[in-house]
Structure 1
Amino acid sequence: MTLGMLASQFATQDIEDGKSVDKWKLYRALCEARPLLGVTDRALAVMSALLSFYPKDELSETNGLVVFPSNAQLSLRSHGMTEQTIRRHVAVLVEAGLIVRKDSPNGKRYVRRSGGGVIDEAFGFSLAPLLARADEIEHLAAQVTAERLHLQRLRERLTLCRRDVSKLIEAAVEEGASGNWEMVTTHFRALVTAIPRTPTAIEVTTALDEMEMLREEIVNQLEMQIKTKNMNGNPFQNDRHIQNSNPESSSELEPSFEQKLGKIPEGEQVAPAATTDELKRVDHRTLGGAKPKNARGEQAHSMTPARMKAFPLALVLQACPEIIPYGSGGAISSWRDLMAAAVVVRSMLGVSPDAYQQACEILGPENAATVIACILERAGHINSAGGYLRDLTRRAEKGEFALGPMIMALARANGNSVRRVG
């Protein structure tokens, strides 16, 4: 006797009057809820044998709830289990609170009948706990079924996502799209290999999130290349800007990167390709003859993507060496390598594809990759890399941001002396 067994016996006293349930329907629910009840499949086989000795299809107190088969008959209906094995699995059913032993004075299982053949008292195994917990068992069975269907749908989504990624990589390689597709393929295979043979719902969800992120990266990279080709083929599209009406918050920006045009520290000079004077020169005809004003009433300057030229690659890598290991083979030798590495880094930093695409369109692909490299250098000091990038893009569109101070600050922080780059 244990406290659990005693609790099961108390539960049998709370059976509603007139309650009945189909024994085989309840047994099927019991099999479904087996993982949550902690019973084995062999124990359920013994339960099936015990239910077969119940004379009615409906379990109810009216018909009695005690079965009293002999060991020999119970062994036959349990597919030939030995008596020792049956006793072990009966103990599991008792411990799980599904049946209760009703022992006779001599420990035997038998029944006493009246003169008319009516059962007065029976000694054996009581199925009362099973009837008392019928609603609970059906609820657990429904829960297990729902979890199984959820897992099945997750696995289906993961399978479809895996196919999409495989086809996208194959298409990119066949079409000769720029990018380190060997590294992408290696990452894809690593994700597939990490999936367990029999994964849980949590493991499948994690794998699905990573696979969908990889698919989004590939689609975004291919889409950017297509849009870049279209923009290069139609010069009228260079004046189009995309502005997010609901930008991410960027309230905590690094102070050293907050310098606007006209506020470059004394003694520092930027490369001629991106000098302050160049950034301030604007064709006022594109503004309809009017100059917008800033918060202090001063005339502000606008800037198109064509005005912001890229800095020399050597200077960018000198100021931002942290991005070099993300290049193809752990090195960056061209702007294409830097832009491919920036796509990997922006995902690692949590920058959305939309924010990065907007930066490419406003700053240009090379400068957007340079900004990502700069953010990587100071990632530990920036809470929201995505919000930071959006803020810089928005300020660049208004002509209030230059790459020079940012690169010079990082070069100074890395101990490099940069006087002038030609």
Structure 2
Amino acid sequence: METGSVTTPFGQRSMTLGMLASQVMAGEIKPDQSVDKWKLFRALCEAKPLLGIGDRALAVLNALLSFYPKNELAQGNGLIVFPSNIQLSLRTHGMAEQTVRRHLAALVEAGLLLRRDSPNGKRYVRRDRAGEVDEAFGFSLAPLLARAEEIEQLAAAVMAERLHVQRLRERITLRRRDIAKLIEAAVEEEIPGDWQGLYREFRDLIEGLPRSPTTAQLELLLDELTALRTDILNRLEIRVKSTKQRGNADYTERHIQNSNPESTSELEPSFETKQGAIAEPDNDRGAVAPEKGRGEAAYPHGQKKEEEQSRRPDVRNDGGGLKSFPLGLVLQACPEILAYGPDGVIRNWRDLMAAAVIVRSMLGVSPSAYEEAANVMGPENAATVMACILERGGHINSAGGYLRGLTRRSEKGEFAIGPMLMALLRANAPAGRKVG
């Protein structure tokens, strides 16, 4: 390098080793080296996190590049631009001159510009008789040309990291969806297992992620979600295999029985009649058929039937094909119903159905609407739906109309309680942070 190419800043600005290193690097530019200035600027915008510069500094650099007359940065074209601070302020859309000077100093400190100060600190150019630039004082763009390859590599690294983070977030989103829907399916199918505990573990993992996570934190979360998903799938696969084996055994047993040549079931019609006869009531359970017409005046509008249903929790009506869910899950999803149980506590399905009768009256649901729901869905499921309606009371204009709508959908096989419970579980869980 020629020692004459080293210059020091004007005035009170001090010389640093970083400035000297930038000038040494600029002096090693190859004569035939060139780069498209706007392509390089786009790479700078990508690599700014690694270069330690901000958006405002890039705006000032963009203005400086606009004063360079050629599209190609090359040694032969001259690499010094000399706009005044007023001109730079105009091309940065009115940025204050003091702010412009601050960001110019940041670009010099980052090693992207060099100062070529004149004896009096002014920026100007001297031209020869032919009008060509003889000597210029201002800012040298030589460090950009010298570091062009490095800047492009940094930009590629930033883009690769961004793509990696994007894929991590996509995979985390898929794992979250899989886990939530698999737990929901397990609860809806009444598969034994601590599904509430697994759901809490799932929510703890999601809520433990910071608002602006690092790549390492995202990778750790993905590994933990993958392990949890695998655990859930293993439990469900065991259940599926056991169900399949039991089904095959039942089919084999039926096949052997039907293949018995000595079977006399076809020759004994009286035996078939006994099999199809209506079973007698189970006297051990104490169920007594009410006499027709007795007590109807004391229980107007079907209230007697509601209380009878609340006193007989063992009675199930699957007319709508709905599946019952564990009482603990219902209470976790609908905690507001607890206040209406006996002494403010719900210990069993009997208590829940008694509380549902009180809630029905409080929400203005007619006895006929609730009776119809209990007949179609079953008393336990009707009580569960009333608990859900109470939980979402602020979003439902007419509780009675809403219940009748769910009853009609249940009759058609278009309604399931599982999604409603899972939505309330998610709503009552502490607010988590989004990922992806």
Deviations 1:278-323 (A, max 9, x none): xxxxxxxxxxxxxxxxxxxxxxxxxxxxxxxxxxxxxxxxxxxxxx
TM-score normalised per structure 1: 0.55
TM-score normalised per structure 2: 0.53
- Displacement of 1:116: 1.4
Q: Does 1:198 align with 2:212?
A: yes
Aligned residue in 2 for 1:9: 23
Q: Secondary structure at the residue paired with 1:124?
A: strand
- Displacement of 1:68: 0.2
2:113 counterpart (81, 99, 103): 99
Aligned pairs (5 A) from 1:223-234: 223-232=237-246
Give the letter for the 1:38 counterpart: G
User: Do the aligned partners of 2:48 and 2:54 also contact (CA within 8 Å) in 1?
Assistant: yes
Aligned residue in 2 for 1:169: 183
Aligned pairs (5 A) from 1:11-410: 11-232=25-246
User: Do the aligned partners of 2:85 and 2:101 also contact (CA within 8 Å) in 1?
Assistant: no
- Alpha carbons of 1:175 and 1:235: their partners in 2 closer, same or farther (altered >3 Å)? closer
- Displacement of 1:87: 1.0
Structure 2: distance between partners of 1:29 and 1:89 = 19
- Displacement of 1:232: 4.9
- Displacement of 1:81: 1.4
Deviations 1:254-284 (A, max 9, x none): xxxxxxxxxxxxxxxxxxxxxxxxxxxxxxx
Structure 2: distance between partners of 1:110 and 1:233 = 92
Deviations 1:102-132 (A, max 9, x none): 0000000000111111110000000000100
Structure 1: distance between partners of 2:17 and 2:247 = 81
Structure 1: distance between partners of 2:90 and 2:153 = 32
Give the letter for the 1:131 counterpart: L
Deviations 1:66-121 (A, max 9, x none): 00001110110112111111111011100110000000000000001111111100
- Displacement of 1:235: 6.9
- Displacement of 1:20: 0.9
Structure 1: distance between partners of 2:23 and 2:142 = 8
Structure 1: distance between partners of 2:56 and 2:244 = 67
Q: Secondary structure at the residue paired with 2:118?
A: coil
Deviations 1:127-171 (A, max 9, x none): 000100000000100110011011101110110111000110000
Structure 2: distance between partners of 1:213 and 1:136 = 40
Structure 2: distance between partners of 1:36 and 1:62 = 30
Gaps of 5+ in 1: 237-422
User: Do the aligned partners of 2:73 and 2:79 also contact (CA within 8 Å) in 1?
Assistant: yes
Q: Secondary structure at the residue paired with 2:68?
A: coil
Structure 1: distance between partners of 2:188 and 2:201 = 19
Structure 2: distance between partners of 1:79 and 1:43 = 13
- Displacement of 1:227: 2.4
Deviates more, 1:144-153 or 1:197-206: 197-206
Structure 1: distance between partners of 2:175 and 2:83 = 55
Aligned residue in 2 for 1:277: none
Structure 1: distance between partners of 2:128 and 2:247 = 101
Gaps of 5+ in 2: 1-14, 251-436
- Displacement of 1:18: 1.2
Structure 2: distance between partners of 1:70 and 1:232 = 87
Structure 2: distance between partners of 1:4 and 1:206 = 39
Q: Kindly, what percent of the aligned residue pairs are identical?
A: 65
Aligned residue in 2 for 1:378: none
User: Do the aligned partners of 2:23 and 2:114 also contact (CA within 8 Å) in 1?
Assistant: yes
Q: Secondary structure at the residue paired with 1:117?
A: coil
User: Do the aligned partners of 2:34 and 2:73 also contact (CA within 8 Å) in 1?
Assistant: yes
Give the letter for the 1:208 counterpart: L
- Displacement of 1:191: 1.2
Structure 1: distance between partners of 2:54 and 2:160 = 21
Flag the structure with larger Rg.
2
Give the letter for the 1:151 counterpart: V
Deviations 1:216-268 (A, max 9, x none): 010101111222344456679xxxxxxxxxxxxxxxxxxxxxxxxxxxxxxxx
Deviations 1:337-364 (A, max 9, x none): xxxxxxxxxxxxxxxxxxxxxxxxxxxx
Superposed CA RMSD: 1.4
Structure 2: distance between partners of 1:127 and 1:142 = 22
Q: Secondary structure at the residue paired with 1:15?
A: coil
User: Do the aligned partners of 2:31 and 2:76 also contact (CA within 8 Å) in 1?
Assistant: no
